[in-house]
Amino acid sequence: MKNLGLNHINLRVPADLLEAMRAFYCELIQLQVGFRPPFGTQGYWLYAGAQPVIHLSVLKGDASVVLDAPRVVDHIAFTCCNIEQAVLKLDQLGINYRRLDFADEGISQIFIQDPAKNTVELHFHLE
């Protein structure tokens, strides 16, 4: 087997959090809702270009067990451009973030949390 790269991440959330998660990843991270097979359950596939990179689905069962469990995935990272625009939008929306700049490496990272409290990294290559 040859690994060609990461295909997608599936995030299962309580039904009352589904729309907030969709809004976060579409409006802030700039993913787009796209084709999702008719599974018969609520959810979205969120695309970066032609690739569905986030699958959002509704969590079945006791949500508190999952949401209160220790997290083994530290963060999800997206390669982005135009850090000035990102910072402006985060400031306008009042979203807390942590920014790390690595000038020698030519990168900057911004860390935020999605509505389910997953850490999301916005990774920028500086021009």
Alpha helices in the chain (DSSP H): 18-23, 63-67, 83-93
Residue 110, SS3 per DSSP? strand
* Token output for 20: 């907030």
pLDDT tens, 80-114?
A: 999 999 999 999 999 999 999 999 999 999 999 99
User: Domains plus CATH for the chain?
Assistant: 1-60 (3.10.180.10), 74-127 (3.10.180.10)
Predicted confidence (pLDDT) at residue 69 exceeds the cutoff of 70: no
Tokens 């097979």 -> residue? 37
Give the span between the Cα atoms of 11 and 37, in whole angstroms: 16
Predicted confidence (pLDDT) at residue 61 exceeds the cutoff of 90: no
